[in-house]
Structure 1
Amino acid sequence: MADLFDTGDPAPAPASGKAAPRPLADRLRPQALSEVIGQQQVLGPDAPLGVMLASGSLGSIVFWGPPGVGKTTIARLLADATDLHFVQISAIFSGVPELRKVFEAARMRRANGQGTLLFVDEIHRFNKAQQDSFLPHMEDGTILLVGATTENPSFELNAAVLSRAQVLVLERLSEADLERLVQRAEQELDRPLPLDEGARAALLEMADGDGRALLNLVEQVMSWRVTDPLDTAALRTRLMKRAAQYDKSGDGHYNLISALHKSVRGSDPDAALYWFARMLEAGEDPRFLARRITRMAVEDIGLADPQAQTHCLDAWNTFERLGSPEGELALAQALVYIALAPKSNAVYVAYKAARAAAKKTGSLRPPKHILNAPTRLMKDQGYGAGYAYDHDAEDGFSGQDYFPEEMRREAFYDPVDRGFERDMRKRVDYFARLRAQRQKT
C-alpha cells in the first residue's frame, strides 16, 4: 500500500468557498485497513496486526520501512479501528515542550474515557532523553505509541522503548502492488494513463517501490496534454528517474556494502558487479568502495592469493590518478579478480585468536633466551642464555619455543588447502615436523 502521506486534516476552504485541489495521494488514502495495498505480512489475518485487532489487544508498535509504504496511513487506520484519538507528531519538528503538551492532552483525554494513539514519524530522530520521556506514558496507558522509522531500530532506538513495542517491518511495494495503485488512480481520475505498455512499466520502475512517489508521478503524467500514448523514450524525456533510496550513513548503505562483500566472498563476480554498480549509481564515494574492496582481499582471500591485495591497491591508485568515471573501471577489474580468487580467512582467524590470547595472558614476559642482553647485568640475569641462532642450525631451523614460559605453545594459523595457501600448509607442516624432531633430541 502506498504511504499516502498524511499531512493532517484538509485545510478549510478559503473565504471564497472554493477549496484548493487535493493531491491525488490524499484523495486515494485508504479509509479502512482492508483497502490497504500490500503489507500483508503485518496486516493479514494471521499476521501481527491482524491477530492484535482480532483479539482486541493492540500494543505499542514501531514500523520500520522505506518511505511511501504505508506507515502513516496504517497508523491512522489503526486508531480508527480501535476507537483511539489519533495524534501525529514528527520528531524532526517536535521537542520537549511539544511532547509535554501532547502527554498532558492525552492524560486529559484518558480522564474523559478516550485513549490516544500517538504516531511519531521519524522517531529515530529523538535523542535518548526524548525517547525515555515516552516510557511512563506507555506503561500507564496514557498513550499507545506507534513509531515510524526508515532506520534500523536496533541501532537507533533505546532498548527500553524497543522492549515495550513490537517492531513490524514494512516492505517496499512490489511491481504488482504499484500496478494496483495505478489502476486505483485511473479509476479515481476516470481515464487511463496516456502511456503504452513499456512506458507504464518504466513509470513503475521510476517509483522504486514508493507508492507516494508513484502517485505523484501519475499526477504529473495525467496533467500532460497528449493525443497518443507516450512510449518509454518520451516518458524518460519528460520525467527524471527517481533517485534510488540510499543514505550514505544509514541502513541502506550498510545493506548494500554487506551484499557486495558477501557476493565477493561467495565468488560471484556478476552479483558483486551489480551491487558495486548500485552503490555508484546511488552516489557512493568510489574511494570508500576502493577501501572496502581492499579490505575484502585482506580479510577473505589473504594468503590464498597474495596478489589479490596488490591488485586492489593498484586499482585504488589507478582511480586516484584517473578519477571518475574512468577510474571506476579499475575498481571493477579488481572486484572481479577478488571475486574469482581462491578464498581463505585463515590469517584473519589466526589474528583474532592471537589477539584474544594476548588479551588473556596479559603481561607475560618473553622467555629469557630470546631477550637481548646489551649489559652485563642483563647477561647475569640470564638474558639471551641458550638462544639458538637459527642460521647456524641444521636446515636453518632451531625449533626453539618463543612463547612465554608460563604459556603453552599455541597454533593460531591453520592455512586452507586452496590457492597459494596449499604451499603455506606444506611449510607449516614441514616446520611442525622439524620442531617435533628437535624437541626429541
Structure 2
Amino acid sequence: MADLFGDDLPPPESEEPLAEDAPLADRLRPRTLDDVVGQEHLTGPEGAIGRMVAAGKLSSMILWGPPGTGKTSTSRLLAKAVGMRFAAVSAVFSGVADLRKAFAEAETAARAGQRTLLFVDEIHRFNRAQQDGFLPFVERGTVTLVGATTENPSFALNAALLSRAQVLVLNRLDEMALSMLLAKAEALEGPLPLTDEARAALIATADGDGRFLLNQAETLYAAHIEEPLGPGPLGKFLQRRMAVYDKDRDGHYNLISAFHKSVRGSDPQAALYYMARMLVAGEEPLYILRRLAAIASEDIGLADPQAMVQVMAAKQSFEFLGSPEGELPLAQAVIYCASAPKSNAACLAKGIAMEVARETGSVAPPMNILNAPTKMMKDMGYGAAYHYDHDQPDAFSGDNYWPDGVPAQEFYKPNERGFERELKKRLEWWQKKRVERRGG
C-alpha cells in the first residue's frame, strides 16, 4: 500500500477504502493533484505537470527529489488525471522478468486502446543495460515512463534515457507545506499535544520529509499525551532525524559546493555552517581540508600566501590531535581562508600558460639559458652569453628566457588586493629594470 509521499509503490486503481487503523500517511494520501502539497511549481496551472494534465497528454518524465516529497503520489494521480492505465515496478525488488511482464501487459493494453503510465520507483537502481531496455518501449509509445529518483539524474541515469524524458525537480517540503500536512492530520485526528514552540520544533525535525513528519505525529497521537509538550520534552520523546547526507552522492557534493562558494564569497559564518553540516553528517575532516587547500590556491592565491600555510598547519594539527580536538584548527583555517583577500590570478595564469604550452609544442628554450656540460655543446653555443644574475647590478640581468618565435607573454596579472598589491609593485619594478637592461 502506498503512502502520501513516497517510497512504497502505489496501489492499483481500484482502491479499497482504507481501514481506520491504516497508517496516518496512507489515510491522508492525496486524492487529486491539487491535494499534493509543496509542489505547486509543477502541479499548478503554469507548472509542467499542470500543463500536461490540461492538455490531456503526458510525456515521459523523471521525478527527482528528496524522500517524502510526493513522487509516488504524483505519479499515481497523473495516470488518474489523464485516464491512463497505471502500472508500477520497483527497481529495488524488480528484475528483467518483471519489466518484460510490464511491457507485455502494456502492449496488450495498447492494442485495446488503453495507454499505460509505467511508474518506476528508484529508477536509478537499475543498471545501465536495464535502463537501455526501456528505450524501445518509450520510443514506440508503448508506455509513458515516469521514473522516481532521489539521485541526480545526470549521474544516475543513461544519457539516452534522459534524452527521452523530461526531468522535473520536486522541492524539499518547506515549513508552510509541512504545516499544511500537520493541519490535515489534526483535521482528521484532533489537535496535537504540543505547544506552538514544540510544533515548530517538530516541523524542523522533519527536514523536509512529509512522511517522516506524519509518522512522528502518529507516534504522538498513539501515546495519548494529556498535557501539551514543549520543545524540551518533545525532544526527549521523539528521536531527532539525522540530516540526509550520502558522502559519495548528491548530499556530499551539494554541501562541499556550498562550503567552497561560501569561502570564496568571504562569508566565514556560512562557511563554518557548511563545515559543521559536513562534520555532523560524518564527513572526513581531511576531505574538507583537501578542499580548503584547493581554495587556498584557486581563490586566494598570492593575495594571502599565508592561507595555504594555515590550511597545512590545520591538516598537521588534525593528524596530530584527531577528532574532536583537531576540528578546532580546521575551523580556524576555514575562518582565515574565508576572511582572506581573494585572487584567482595565479589560477588564471596557470590555465593560460597551459594553453600556450600546448600550442607551442616542443620548441626549444633559447641557447643562452641551456647548460653546456660537454665541449661539443659549448661549441654549439649552449650557454653562450648567459649572464649570472647575482653578478649583475640589482642581481638582475634582464636576459631573454623565451624560446625563439615565442614572444614574451604576461600570464600572471596580480590584482590590488592583499599581498598581490606588493607583488604587482615588484613585477613592475622588474619590468622597468628589464627595459633598462635592454636599452629601452
TM-score (norm 2): 0.94
CA distance in 1, matches of 2:8, 2:239: 25
Aligned twin of 1:15: none
Partner residue, 2:140: 140
Q: Is the 8 A contact 2:4 2:28 kept in 1?
A: no
Query: Which amino acid is the alignment partner of residue 52 of structure 1?
Result: M
Find the aligned partners of 1:199 and 1:20 in 2 and give their Cα distance: 27
Gaps of at least 5 residues in structure 2 are none
TM-superposed CA distance for 1:381, in Å, is 2.5
* Alignment map for 1:331-410 (pairs within 5 Å): 331-410=330-409
User: What residue number does 1:93 align with?
Assistant: 93
Determine if contact 2:79/2:117 at 8 Å carries over to the other structure: yes
Contact 1:247 1:253 in 2 (8 A): yes
Q: Can you give the 5+ residue segments of structure 1 that lack an aligned partner in the other structure?
A: 13-17
1:224 aligns with 2:223: yes
Is 1:319 matched up with 2:315?
A: no
Distance 1:112 1:7 in 2: 25
The answer as to whether partners of 1:293 and 1:312 remain within 8 angstroms in 2 is yes
Q: 2: distance between equivalents of 1:321 and 1:86?
A: 59
Matched, 1:124 2:121: no
What is the deviation of 1:19? 6.8
Letter in 1 for 2:422: D
- Tell me how far apart the structure 2 counterparts of residues 396 and 203 of structure 1 sit (CA, whole Å): 71
1:214 to 1:402, Cα distance in 2 relative to 1, 3 A: same
What is the letter of the counterpart of residue 102 of structure 2?
A: V
Deviation of the 1:440 alpha carbon: 3.0
Give the letter for the 2:11 counterpart.
D
Count of residues paired in the alignment: 434
Cα distance in 2 for partners of 1:132, 1:411 equals 50
Q: Tell me how far apart the structure 1 counterparts of residues 398 and 4 of structure 2 sit (CA, whole Å).
A: 70
> How far 1:437 moved relative to its partner?
2.5
Instruction: Indicate yes or no: 2:260 matched with 1:261.
Output: yes
Alignment map for 1:248-327 (pairs within 5 Å): 248-327=247-326
Contact 2:318–2:327 (CA<8 Å) still a contact in 1? yes
Superposed displacement of residue 360, structure 1: 2.2
Indicate the percent of aligned positions where both proteins have the same amino acid: 56
Q: 2:101 is aligned with what amino acid?
A: K
Query: In structure 1, what is the Cα distance between the partners aligned to 2:60 and 2:49?
Result: 11
Give the 4+ runs in structure 1 shifted more than 6 A: none
Residue 342 of structure 1 deviates from its aligned partner by 1.0
Contact 2:255 2:274 in 1 (8 A): yes
**Taking structure 1 as reference, are residues 2 and 262 closer, same or farther at Cα in structure 2, changes over 3 Å only?**
farther
SS of match in other structure, 2:89: strand
3-state SS of paired residue (1:208): coil
Alpha-carbon distance in 2 for matches of 1:275, 1:135: 40
- What letter matches 2:24 in structure 1? L
Separation in 1, partners of 2:66, 2:19: 32
Q: 2:159, 2:23 → 1: CA distance?
A: 38
- Decide whether the 8 Å contact of 1:308 with 1:338 is kept in 2: yes
Return the letter of the residue paired with 1:360.
E
Whether the 8 Å contact between 1:5 and 1:68 is mirrored in structure 2 is yes
Confirm or deny: 8 A CA contact 2:131 2:161 kept in the other structure.
Answer: yes
Question: In structure 2, what is the Cα distance between the partners aligned to 1:381 and 1:215?
Answer: 85
2:5 corresponds to: 3
Distance 1:90 1:362, change over 3 A: farther
Alpha-carbon RMSD: 1.9
Letter aligned with residue 123 of structure 1: I
For the residues of structure 1 that align with 2:280 and 2:142, how far apart are their CA atoms?
46
In structure 2, the residue matched to 1:165 is 165
- Provide closer, same or farther for how the CA distance between residues 147 and 8 of structure 1 changes in structure 2, counting only shifts above 3 A: closer
> What amino acid is the match of 1:265?
R
Match of 1:168, SS state, is strand
Q: Does 1:234 align with 2:233?
A: yes
Give 1:196 shift.
1.3
Contact 2:9 2:89 in 1 (8 A): no
Alpha-carbon contact 1:6-1:73 (below 8 Å) kept: no
CA positional deviation for 1:8: 4.2
The whole-number CA distance in structure 2 between the counterparts of 1:84 and 1:332 is 55
Deviations 1:4-51 (A, max 9, x none): 5444438x9xxxxx9794211111111111111120111110111111
